[in-house]
Chain A
Amino acid sequence: MRIVVCIKQVIDPEVPPSEFRIDPQKKEAVQGRANLVISTFDECALEVALQVKDKVPETTVTALTFGPKSAEEALRKALAMRADEAVRVDTDRTGRMDPAGVAQVLASTIQKIGGADVVLFGREGADFDSAQVGQMTAEALEMPLITLATEMEAVDKGIRARRHGDDGWSVVEAPTPVALTITNAPVNVPRIPKVKDVMQAHRKPITTMTLDELGIDPAILSEAAPVEMEELFIPEVNNQVTIIEGETPEEKAEKLAQAILALKVL
Chain B
Amino acid sequence: MPNVVALVFAPAGQLPASAFELLGAGSRIAAAENVPLVAALVGSSLNDLPKQLLAHGAVEVYTVEDGLLETFQPDLYLLAAEQAVQAAQPQTVLLLHDGVGAELGPRLGARLKGGVVTDVIEIVTEGGVRYRRPVYGGKAMATYAVRRSPAVVTIRVRSQEPAPEQGNAEGPIHPVAVTLDPQAAKVKVVERIEEEEQEGVKLEDARVIVSGGRGLGKAENFQALKELADVLGAGMAASRAAVDAGWVPYAMQVGQTGKMVAPDLYIAVGISGASQHLAGITGSKHVVAINKDSEAPIFKRAELGVVDDYSKVLPVLTQKLKELLGK
Contact = CB atoms under 8 A, between A and B. Distances in A.
Contacts of A244: 304-306
A29 B136 contact: yes
A231 B122 CA distance: 14
Contacts of A62: none
Task: Give the residue among A140, A145, A225, A259 with the most B Cβ atoms within 10 A.
Answer: A145
Given A22-B140, A100-B116, A175-B186, A253 B314 contact: yes
A209 interface: no
B257 interface: yes
Given A144-B186, A174-B186, A266-B265, A228 B145 contact: yes
A132 B324 CA distance: 47
Contacts of B192: 167-171
A226 B304 contact: no
B319 to A, nearest CB: 8
B140 A29 contact: yes
Contacts of A258: 320, 324
B135 A129 contact: yes
Q: Is the contact region of chain A dominated by helix, strand, or loop, or is it mixed? A: mixed
A250 interface: yes
Interface string A1-39: 000000000000111110010100001010000000000
Interface string B117-134: 111000000000010011
B144 A13 contact: no
A230 interface: yes
Nearest to B146: A227
B148 A226 contact: yes
Given A171-B193, A260-B265, A242 B303 contact: yes
A131 B142 contact: no
A76 B229 CA distance: 47
Contacts of A166: 98-100, 204
A103 B147 CA distance: 18
A16 B275 contact: yes
Nearest to B101: A166
Q: Looking at chain A, what size class is its interface with the partner chain?
A: 35 or more
A227 B142 CA distance: 12
A116 to B, nearest CB: 16
B304 A252 contact: no
B33 interface: no
Interface in B305-319: 305-309, 312-317
B90 to A, nearest CB: 14
Task: Give the residue among B103, B105, B140, B304 with the most A Cβ atoms within 10 A.
Answer: B140
B308 A131 contact: no
B190 A230 contact: no
A229 B315 CA distance: 48
Interface stretch (B20-28, B164-172, B294-302): B294-302
27 contacts: A13-B256, A17-B275, A20-B140, A100-B115, A128-B135, A129-B119, A139-B107, A144-B187, A145-B187, A171-B189, A172-B188, A172-B189, A225-B115, A226-B147, A233-B141, A233-B142, A239-B301, A242-B305, A243-B294, A250-B312, A253-B314, A253-B316, A257-B317, A263-B286, A263-B303, A263-B304, A266-B321
Query: Which 9 pairs between the two chains have the least Cβ-Cβ distance?
Result: A226-B115, A249-B312, A253-B316, A226-B148, A144-B186, A257-B320, A135-B106, A166-B99, A169-B193
Interface of A: 13-17, 20, 22, 27, 29, 40-41, 99-100, 103, 126-132, 135-136, 138-140, 144-148, 160, 162, 164-175, 178, 183-186, 225-235, 237, 239-244, 248-250, 252-254, 256-261, 263, 265-266
